[in-house]
Amino acid sequence: MKIGFIGLGNMGAPMAHNLLKAGHAVNVFDLNTHAVQTLVEAGAKAAASPKAAASDVECVITMLPAAAHVHSVLTAEDGVLAGIPKGVVIVDSSTIDPASVKAFAALASQRGNTFVDAPVSGGTGGAAAGTLTFMVGGSASTYEQVKPVLSAMGKNIVHCGDTGTGQVAKICNNLVLGITMAGVAEAMSLGEALGIDVKVLGGIINTSTGRCWSSDTYNPMPGVIDGAPASRGYTGGFGTDLMLKDLGLATDAAKLARQPVYLGALAQQLYQTMSAKGAGRLDFSAVIKLYRDDRGQGSGNGDAR
């Protein structure tokens, strides 16, 4: 199948590689010529513009940092909508706000194209291994149409509902994630301060009602889960600034919907504090530093006089 792929960053590049491995013909475009070159060496065809990448293909995939980039890639003079054949589906795997998705879908349909939101989870590891989860927002028929293509890059291709619901699913999951991670950081730090062995505490939580991915798989306390970012200085993993971006999408969507998100808004401030301290590129589980660093300097007794 002939595919146009736009956006060869940490996620997009390995995704495009997996399309090639699956035998698809891929036109690639990115402002980073080095990223393009690497894909060309793997068998892709370099395109001079998004417009060129979208010409004469059966599917277009975009993987970009934010809604503003998707907008320009679609609507620029040499953009996708200027070159794409009628009837071809545009799959956007960027994580953006649901309102922008609806606007882009409207633009695409004016041109006779279908715009599908299909954000991913699984990180750079899942992108390389081809084990990503795709959360797809679109009609049932469009979902069936794009499923085979996405299957070359991911393990779970989930149909979330109509256009925009893929982003809603991604945003809501990461809202829970951002809250539970900070909550586990809080509880593990409190337990440590109160004198329980953190590995014992982790074991109890993970077999009890506090059980969650942030505790049993990705515990932020060093020494509890082997191989978690906490056990390697919070390097790699899912960056604090990325979590901050997703919580920003969640609180903005909540603002538009007049929906309270008390814990989400507070968690956002905690990660924002980490980012302000220069830790934006550390894994988001490093938020536990807010609870543990410079600790034990307080009088540490119950008498606040």
157 DSSP 8-state letter: E
Nearer to a second copy, 43 or 65 (CB): 65
Active-site position among 170, 199, 245, 289 = 170
Tokens of 21: 């491995």
CB of 225 to a second copy, least distance (A): 14
Residue 9's region, left for phi above 0, alpha for psi from -120 to 50, else beta, is: beta
- Residue 170 a catalytic site member: yes
CB of 104 to a second copy, least distance (A): 17
Report yes or no: 64 and 94 within 8 Å, Cβ to Cβ: yes
Nearer to a second copy, 60 or 179 (CB): 179
DSSP string, 37-87: HHHHHTT-EE-SSHHHHHTT-SEEEE--SSHHHHHHHHHSTTSHHHHPPTT
At residue 165, the 3 state secondary structure works out as: helix
CB of 199 to a second copy, least distance (A): 11
CB of 271 to a second copy, least distance (A): 9
Nearer to a second copy, 3 or 205 (CB): 205
Nearer to a second copy, 34 or 86 (CB): 34
Over the range 116-148, which residues count as b (16 or more CB within 10 Å of their CB) and which as e?
Answer: bbbbbbbbbebbbebebbbbbbbeeebbebbee
Catalytic residues: 170
